[in-house]
Amino acid sequence: MKRPEDGRSARRCSAPAFLFLLLLPVAARAGDWRVSPIRLDLGRDAKSGAVSVANDSDDRLQVQMKAFEWTQDAEGKDRYEETGEILFFPRLMILERKEEKILRAGIRVPAVAKEKTFRLFIEEIPGPRKAEGVNVAVAIRFGVPIFVKPLKEEARGEVGAMTMSAGALLVPVNNTGNVHFIVQSVLVRGRNGAGEEIFSRELSGWYLLSGVSRGYPTTVPPGTCGDMAVIEAEVKTDKLPLHGRLVVDRSMCGP
């Protein structure tokens, strides 16, 4: 996921671009403006929250806001659909140089059995086209996650049945709870018959919403695969550790 180093580099792009900065530290910065915090956790005890939008530049900044329901499909890919379940104000902001304003957001109906997930997008309205060359302004867009907690949170997950064919390994991770978790990494280790580690690979993760499964693929080199007896998967998340194991047969390594 590409992000500009600073506002100047963003504005040197030769075509319009939309940069989605979705999984960032406590305060997210793009070019010469920033958003803080970068997520809201709501529920029955906190039905609304506030996000600060700050313009650190010497130029006027305009941003617009839209709320989307956030789901994931059968492959774990993010899907967004504009929604009216999130109430927010204002819908448009104009910030003068060095100015900071507050965006307020709340929920219409609280979650009950399962966490509700949304994103509130804060999008810069780009300025006019520059006169020199072909440079144009770039619109930066932040997607602030909004998690609406259920009455009782139950974080659960598992590594599903791992498979391998022709050296192509798939590690399925299933969220079987009623709240999201973040897959921080998937560490795959291959061991020979003596228990020695002869293969290791770490895969990066992402949010995994409630009830969603995502497969993490990788490839085992042919020369190493034939010497493996077992493959272990260690999944680190922000809520709980998960583990999986696959006994390797030589037929899994060849075509």
Q: pLDDT digit string (tens) for 94-132?
A: 999 999 999 999 999 888 899 999 999 999 998 765 555
At 203 the pLDDT is 97
What DSSP designation does 9 have?
A: H
Q: Which domains does the chain have, with CATH numbers?
A: 7-148 (2.60.40.10), 157-252 (2.60.40.10)
Angle at 245 between CA 78 and CA 187, to 5 degrees: 55
Strand pairing partners for 233? 188, 244
**What average pLDDT does range 219-241 have in this prediction?**
96
d(CA 242, CA 200): 17
- pLDDT at position 255: 75
Residue 47: burial class (beta carbons within 10 Å; 0-12, 13-18, 19+): middle
The amino acid sitting at 244 is G
Residue 226: the pLDDT is 92
Query: Residue 187: pLDDT above 90?
Result: yes
Q: How confident is the model at residue 139 (pLDDT cuts 50, 70, 90)?
A: confident
In angstroms, the CA 203 to CA 244 distance is 15
Task: Assign 254 a pLDDT band (cuts: 50, 70, 90).
Answer: confident
DSSP letter (8 states) at residue 41: E
Give the pLDDT of residue 140. Answer: 84
- Give the tens place of pLDDT for each residue, 155-183: 999 999 999 999 999 999 999 999 999 99
Q: pLDDT tens digit string along 45-66?
A: 889 999 999 999 899 999 999 9
Q: What is the pLDDT of residue 136?
A: 59
Question: Kind and range of the H or E element at 242?
Answer: strand 242-247
- Give the least confident one: 22-26, 105-109, 120-124, 192-196: 22-26
SS (H, E, C) 145-213: EEEECCCCCCCCEEECCCEEECCEEEEEEEECCCCCEEEEEEEEEEECCCCCEEEEEEEECCEECCCCE
pLDDT, position 126: 83
- Give the tokens for residue 13: 């792009």
d(Cα 181, Cα 72) in Å, to the nearest integer? 13
Measured in whole angstroms, the distance separating CA 206 from the mean position of its chain's CA atoms is: 5
At residue 219, does pLDDT exceed 80?
A: yes
Residues 6+ apart with CB under 8 A from 5: none
Q: How many residues does the chain have?
A: 255
